[in-house]
Amino acid sequence: MDIRIAQATDVERLVALVQSAYRGDASRAGWTTEADLLDGQRVDADMVRQAMTEGVVLIDGDAAACCQLERRDGYAYFGMFAVDPARQGQHRGKAMLAEAERYVSEEWGAEEMRMTVIVQREDLIAWYVRRGYERTGEVSPFPYGDERFGKPRRDDLAFETLTKKLG
């Protein structure tokens, strides 16, 4: 799989990819959907451009998988991870995650990767745990009222931090 750093010309494709993986009926073709938890958008063009400014966004050659990486104090943050629902189950997610870990370790010297996952996404958390991530028990609130992140269908959403030592 050819993975590269996304450019400004990729913004609209990235928005479409992330939206298709998490929201609406199209997302139900894959297993990463959040359609039962949230309506509305998952990301917009400004958020993607901000991710590109604050770090890097990786994208594969045919825009079927992507992720965001940020350097933070003492670790790298992994987010905006998406795989086209029609192509899930083809190891694209595993390959993108492995490349993200390699990138932050080799290019930035990061020794740890962190992410946040909606606590109700037990299937997704289990997927990360199988890849060496550990649940921290550290929970942060969902940004209710900020529709840039979607319109919650529940009032109990929260994020848990997962972490993995690299190297």
pLDDT tens-digit profile of 141-150?
Answer: 999 998 888 8
Q: Is the pLDDT of residue 1 over 80?
A: no
Structure confidence by residue, pLDDT tens digits, 7-45: 999 999 999 999 999 988 888 888 878 888 999 889 999
What pLDDT is stored for residue 54 in this prediction?
97
* Residue whose C-alpha is closest to residue 160's, from 138, 129, 134: 138
Q: What's the CA gap between 128 and 113, in Å, rounded? A: 12
* Per-residue pLDDT, 111: 97
| E strand or H helix at 38 | strand 38-39
Q: What is the pLDDT of residues 57-95, one digit of tens each?
A: 999 988 999 999 999 999 999 999 999 999 988 899 999
Three-class SS of 131-145:
CCCEEEEEEEECCCC
Query: Is the whole model's pTM more than 0.85, yes or no?
Result: yes
| Distances in whole angstroms, Cα of residue 11 to Cα of each of 7, 52, 60, 157 | 7, 9, 13, 28
CATH no. for 3-165: 3.40.630.30
Cα 144 to Cα 5, 50, 98, distances in angstroms: 31, 21, 32
pLDDT at res. 29: 83
Confidence tier at 165 by pLDDT (50, 70, 90): very high
> What residues does 162 pair with on adjacent strands?
115, 135
Strands 65-72 and 75-83: antiparallel
Q: What pLDDT, on the 0 to 100 scale, is given for residue 27?
A: 84
